[in-house]
A and B are shown apart, each in its own frame.
Chain A
Amino acid sequence: MSDCLVSLEAVHFAYDPLRPVLAGCDLRIAPGERVGLVGPNGSGKTTLLALVVGLLRPSSGRVEVFGKVRATETDFQEVRGRAGLLFQDPDDQLFCPTVAEDVAFGPLNFGVPREEVRQIVARSLESLGLGGYEDRVTYKLSGGEKRLVSLATVLAMQPELLLLDEPTSGLDDEAEGRVIEVLAGLPQAMLIVSHHRPLLRRLATRVVRLAGGRIEPLDGQL
Chain B
Amino acid sequence: MFDHAPHAPPHRHPSPLDRLDPRGRIVAAVVFSIVVAVAQRFPTLVVALAAAAAASLLARVSWRGVLRRLLPLNAFMLLVLVLVPLEVEGLPLATLGPLEFSREGLAVAARIALKANAIILAMAVLMGTMDVTTLGHALHHLYLPEKLIHLLLFTVRYVDVLRREYGRLRAAMKVRGFRPRISRHTYRSFGYLVGMLLVRSVDRSERIEAAMKCRGFRGRFFLLDHFAFTRRDVPFAVASLAVLVLLALAEWVH
Contacts and interface: CB of A to CB of B under 8 A. Distances in A.
Interface of A: 50, 53, 55, 77, 80-81, 84-85, 87, 89, 91-93, 95-98, 100-101, 104-106, 108-110, 114, 117-118, 121, 137-140, 153-154, 157
Contacts of B220: 109
Given A95-B208, A139-B5, A140-B5, A55 B213 contact: yes
A186 B158 CA distance: 31
Contacts, number: 82
A139 B161 contact: yes
Interface string B199-243: 000001001101111111110101111000000000000000000
Contacts of A109: 215-218, 220, 222
B157 interface: yes
A122 to B, nearest CB: 12
A137 B132 CA distance: 11
B154 interface: yes
Interface residues of B, number: 29
A16 B186 CA distance: 34
Nearest to A101: B224
Contacts of B158: 95
Contacts of A139: 5, 157, 160-161
Contact of A92 (B132, B136, B211, B225): B211
A104 to B, nearest CB: 5
B216 A80 contact: yes
Interface in B155-184: 156-158, 160-161
Nearest to B165: A91
B224 A114 contact: yes
A98 B133 contact: yes
Given A95-B154, A97-B133, A114-B224, A80 B215 contact: yes
A81 B218 CA distance: 12
Nearest to A88: B207
Contacts of B133: 97-98, 137
A80 B222 CA distance: 18
B113 interface: no
Contacts of B153: 96-97
A164 to B, nearest CB: 13
